[in-house]
Amino acid sequence: MSKNHPEAPALQISQWLNAEADLTLASLRGRVVVLHAFQMLCPACVSHGLPQAKKMQQLFDAKDVAVIGLHSVFEHHAVMTPEALKAFVHEYRLSFPIGIDQPSRGGIPATMREYQLQGTPSIVLIDRQGRIRLSHFGVIDDMVLGAAIGQLAAEVETTTLIARPSGDAGMVGTRDACGESGCPA
């Protein structure tokens, strides 16, 4: 695993929906973060991106993978208000946390600008250590995205299984990491 992946910038959110408290990447450290940037009036977001985000939330355990929406409005500002988004989230039954990207001068919202996103939909995968591992603009195949998320989620095996002396002479292992599904090598 390369350590040359950039650290993910802080999320610049003006308001959270579907979250009991404000989320930060620091509070999500230890989990893979799937950040889905969308606009509610973006056809590809509505037809593909948001259903995909809902699937990812259903398929992956929340203790390993956090799915977060990022509503990044860079056009049609007058109609894509927080109140309109609340109704949209209710109608589409979106239950994952959604942050409203902080507006900024120049029209491109703050988080979108910091992440250098090219538009919506966009997917950003952030590993357990808070590093950007994938940034993709446009529609991405479900299987490709699922495999990428699964690969990042599996990295906990290699990053937490640090060789250390065990009770066996000369053996290096992690027998205490064994569980009902087996013992990782």
pTM of the model: 0.81
pLDDT of residue 3: 59
Q: Which two tokens stand for residue 125?
A: 């995968």
Return the number of other C-beta atoms located less than 10 Å from residue 171's C-beta: 10
pLDDT in tens, 156-167: 644 444 444 444
Cα 34 from Cα 31, distance rounded (Å): 10
Higher pLDDT, 3 or 62: 62
| Residue percentage of the chain with pLDDT more than 90 | 75
pLDDT in tens, 33-47: 999 999 999 999 999
Cα 32 from Cα 72, distance rounded (Å): 21
pLDDT in tens, 47-67: 999 999 999 999 999 999 999
